[in-house]
């Protein structure tokens, strides 16, 4: 029976579905990685910016604090020297200036400072908010050079001067402002320290960045492992599905080791087993149905010749004319020959032997196949030609069985092509298939019998048995192939498609 024409609409194969699924999985995991990377980068940037802004703000606040503290010293110094004409710089003066500095710095936590004279050095120093075990009265020796420099700059320029020295963990800020009064070359100075790096804020930032880096690295490794692992396992399933099998059943898929994929593998394997069982039952039912149709058609085909022979024999017995008896015997012999041809074709279809494949040259095979038909084609004025692949190919099949199948197709084409027509016998290799095609320029196939064209006893000729195309189909199936009606605009085209096995 002719297979239905393939739908023109495109459809996804299992390989296409697996490929689209894999692309979807990769795209989703890649999108997840991208979002994670962007989030990590944004978080790291915000952490660094937050810390940087916090450090800059602390330095700015510290600078503002020392400026205000220096101004407070200057205000209190002006009150101290008001109405005073001056005195020599001695210990008594230094003791008198000390309360001035203390009172000015008492409201500035973390700020130390004093009064400085270019010629005498420090006139007063105080650190009232010092958190040590006792009051601090000595100038910080490590910062003395910076203090001297800043006071000198303020004294020479007559304007406030600030110096900020940034270290690894903190920034030292020293500010000096000139003082007006009876004493010459006197400046007030203040100093504080602002933490900028190593400390609680820096430790928190460092821990956050380390955790973020480890999270990103672990996520990248984890996602890469998932992608590679799933790619490997899906490729394993694709390879198992693409392996050729002797039957049309689904192959048995191996387990991948991934629980989710293995559940799908088990489902596919179970579906394949059910499909195989259903296919076996359908095949058995189809065989029974075919046997029923074959028996009915065979009974019909045998009954007609028997009825004709019985009628001729009865007429011959009833007649005394020898010529009529001879005519009846000739008619009976014709019906016997018809029955013999019917049974011979039936045996050829039902008892097809196993193909004996061997290497065959396509060009010489087609030539030897059409040569016996050239005389009959010439008598009917038909042109008979072959088309073979451009490059020589040797294929592996049973030449005797394939020649018999092509003989049936060529004879059908000759009988159905009007005088002056053309018959083309072609062979081609395409997509791993060996295709034989017999095309004629006749009137084509009647639409009413296209659906059952390869069924036994289906014929449009009164002298035909209707088994020729059925034999062609059985020979094709014995080679793991199929016979079908091809597509052509004029005439008819029959195709035998086999798996191509190079010799």
Residue spans of beta strands (DSSP E) within 388-491: 394-397, 422-430, 433-440, 482-485
**Residue 198 pLDDT more than 60?**
no
pLDDT digits (tens, 9 = 90+) for 36-62: 777 777 777 776 766 666 777 888 889
State residue 9's pLDDT score: 38
Choice between 226 and 19, residue whose per-residue pLDDT is larger: 226
Structural domain includes residue 335: no
Angle among Cα 385, 386, 389 to the nearest 5 degrees reads: 155
- What integer is the mean pLDDT of 15-41? 63
State residue 98's pLDDT score: 92
Indicate the burial class of 77 (C-beta count within 10 angstroms; 0-12, 13-18, 19 or more).
buried
State residue 192's pLDDT score: 94
**Residue 293 pLDDT more than 70?**
no
Q: Give dist(CA 381, CA 384) in Å, integer.
A: 10
**Residue 96 pLDDT more than 80?**
yes
The number of domains in the chain is: 2
State residue 281's pLDDT score: 81
Share of the chain above pLDDT 90, in %: 19
Q: Give dist(CA 322, CA 318) in Å, integer.
A: 11
- Report DSSP state, residue 320: -
State residue 148's pLDDT score: 93
CB neighbourhood size of 193 (10 A): 17
Conformation bin of residue 121: beta by default, left when phi > 0, alpha when psi is -120 to 50? left
Question: Would you list the DSSP string of 178-195?
Answer: E--SSSSSEEEEEEEEEE
State residue 352's pLDDT score: 57
- What integer is the mean pLDDT of 109-124? 92
The sheet carrying 112-117 orders its strands as: 121-126, 112-117, 186-195, 170-178, 161-166
Q: Which residue has the tokens 């996520």?
A: 219
CATH number at residue 479: 3.30.565.10
- What integer is the mean pLDDT of 67-85? 89
State residue 145's pLDDT score: 92
Range of the domain at 140: 14-243
Structural domain includes residue 317: no
**Residue 278 pLDDT more than 90?**
no
Structural domain includes residue 232: yes
Confidence of residue 311 (pLDDT cuts 50, 70, 90): confident
CA end-to-end distance (rounded Å), the chain: 31
Q: How many CA atoms lie within 13 A of 344 on its CB side?
A: 6
State residue 102's pLDDT score: 93
Residue 23 and residue 159 share a domain? yes
Nearest to 385 by CA among 408, 349, 413: 413
Residue spans of beta strands (DSSP E) within 348-460: 358-361, 383-387, 394-397, 422-430, 433-440
Nearest to 305 by CA among 331, 269, 271: 331
Domain boundary among 243, 275, 296: 243
**Residue 308 pLDDT more than 80?**
no
Question: Would you list the DSSP string of 27-86?
Answer: HHHHHHHHHHHHHHHHHHHHHHHHHHHHHHHHHHHHHHHHHHHHHHHHHHHHHHHTT---
Domain boundary among 196, 212, 243: 243
Angle among Cα 360, 364, 366 to the nearest 5 degrees reads: 95
Residue spans of beta strands (DSSP E) within 110-185: 112-117, 121-126, 161-166, 170-178
- What integer is the mean pLDDT of 189-216? 76
Choice between 60 and 294, residue whose per-residue pLDDT is larger: 60
Structural domain includes residue 370: yes
**Residue 448 pLDDT more than 80?**
no
The length of the chain is 503
Among 91-100, 144-153, 292-301, the range scoring the smallest mean pLDDT is: 292-301
CB neighbourhood size of 44 (10 A): 16
Residue 187 and residue 55 share a domain? yes
State residue 8's pLDDT score: 36
State residue 295's pLDDT score: 65
Angle among Cα 106, 110, 114 to the nearest 5 degrees reads: 60
| Strand (E) or helix (H) holding 278 | helix 259-318
| Strand (E) or helix (H) holding 469 | helix 468-478
Residue 228 and residue 364 share a domain? no
- What integer is the mean pLDDT of 397-419? 87
Instruction: Say whether 387 sits in a helix, a strand or coil.
Output: strand
**Residue 17 pLDDT more than 50?**
no
Share of the chain above pLDDT 70, in %: 80
Confidence of residue 248 (pLDDT cuts 50, 70, 90): low
Structural domain includes residue 114: yes
pLDDT digits (tens, 9 = 90+) for 168-193: 778 899 999 999 888 889 999 999 99
Among 4-18, 418-432, 442-456, 461-475, the range scoring the smallest mean pLDDT is: 4-18
Q: What is the Cα Rg of the chain in Å?
A: 54
Confidence of residue 288 (pLDDT cuts 50, 70, 90): low
pLDDT digits (tens, 9 = 90+) for 366-377: 898 888 888 888
State residue 348's pLDDT score: 60
The per-residue pLDDT of the chain, averaged, comes to 79
**Residue 6 pLDDT more than 60?**
no
Choice between 44 and 81, residue whose per-residue pLDDT is larger: 81
**Residue 309 pLDDT more than 50?**
yes
Nearest to 161 by CA among 236, 296, 66: 66
Domain boundary among 243, 262, 291: 243
State residue 7's pLDDT score: 35
Residue 370 and residue 239 share a domain? no
């Amino acid at each position: 029976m002719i297979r239905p024409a393939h739908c023109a609409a495109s459809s996804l194969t299992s390989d296409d579905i697996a490929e689209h699924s894999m692309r979807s999985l990769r795209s989703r995991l890649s999108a997840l990685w991208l979002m994670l990377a962007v989030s990590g980068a944004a978080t790291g940037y915000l952490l660094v910016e937050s810390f940087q802004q916090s450090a800059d703000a602390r330095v700015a606040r510290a600078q503002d604090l020392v400026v205000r503290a220096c101004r407070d010293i200057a205000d209190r110094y002006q009150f101290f020297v008001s109405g005073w004409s001056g005195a020599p710089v001695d210990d008594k003066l230094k003791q008198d200036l000390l309360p001035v500095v203390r009172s000015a710095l008492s409201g500035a936590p973390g700020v130390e400072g004093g009064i400085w004279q270019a010629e005498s050095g420090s006139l007063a120093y105080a650190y009232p908010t010092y958190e040590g075990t006792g009051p601090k009265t000595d100038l910080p020796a490590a910062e003395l050079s910076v203090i001297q420099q800043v006071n000198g700059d303020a004294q020479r320029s007559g304007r406030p001067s600030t110096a900020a020295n940034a270290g690894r963990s903190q920034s030292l800020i020293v500010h000096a402002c000139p003082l007006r009064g009876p004493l010459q070359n006197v400046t007030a100075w203040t100093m504080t320290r602002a933490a900028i790096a190593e400390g609680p804020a820096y430790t928190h930032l460092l821990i956050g960045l380390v955790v973020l880096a480890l999270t990103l690295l672990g996520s990248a490794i984890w996602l890469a492992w998932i992608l590679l692992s799933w790619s490997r396992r899906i490729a394993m399933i694709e390879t198992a599905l693409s392996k050729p099998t002797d039957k049309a059943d689904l192959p048995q898929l191996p387990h991948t080791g991934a629980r989710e994929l293995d559940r799908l593998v088990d489902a596919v394997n179970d579906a394949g087993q059910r499909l195989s069982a259903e296919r076996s039952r359908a095949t058995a039912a189809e065989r029974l149905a075919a046997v029923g149709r074959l028996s009915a058609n065979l009974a019909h085909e045998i009954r007609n010749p028997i009825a004709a022979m019985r009628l001729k024999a009865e007429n011959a017995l009833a007649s005394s004319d020898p010529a009529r008896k001879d005519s009846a015997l000739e008619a009976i012999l014709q019906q016997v020959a018809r029955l013999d041809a019917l049974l011979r074709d039936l045996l050829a279809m039902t008892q097809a032997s196993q193909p004996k494949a061997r290497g065959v040259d396509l060009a010489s095979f087609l030539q030897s196949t059409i040569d016996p038909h050239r005389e009959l084609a010439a008598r009917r004025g038909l042109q008979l030609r072959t088309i073979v692949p451009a490059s020589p190919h040797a294929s592996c099949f049973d030449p005797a069985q394939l020649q018999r199948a092509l003989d049936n197709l060529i004879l059908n084409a000759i009988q159905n092509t009007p005088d002056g027509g053309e018959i083309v016998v072609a062979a081609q290799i395409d997509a791993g298939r060996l295709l034989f095609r017999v095309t004629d320029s006749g009137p084509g196939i009647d639409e009413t019998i296209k659906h059952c064209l390869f069924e036994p006893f289906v014929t449009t000729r009164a002298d035909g048995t209707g088994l020729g195309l059925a034999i062609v189909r059985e020979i094709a199936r014995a080679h793991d192939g199929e016979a079908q009606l091809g597509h052509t605009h004029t005439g008819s085209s029959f195709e035998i498609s086999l798996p191509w096995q190079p010799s």
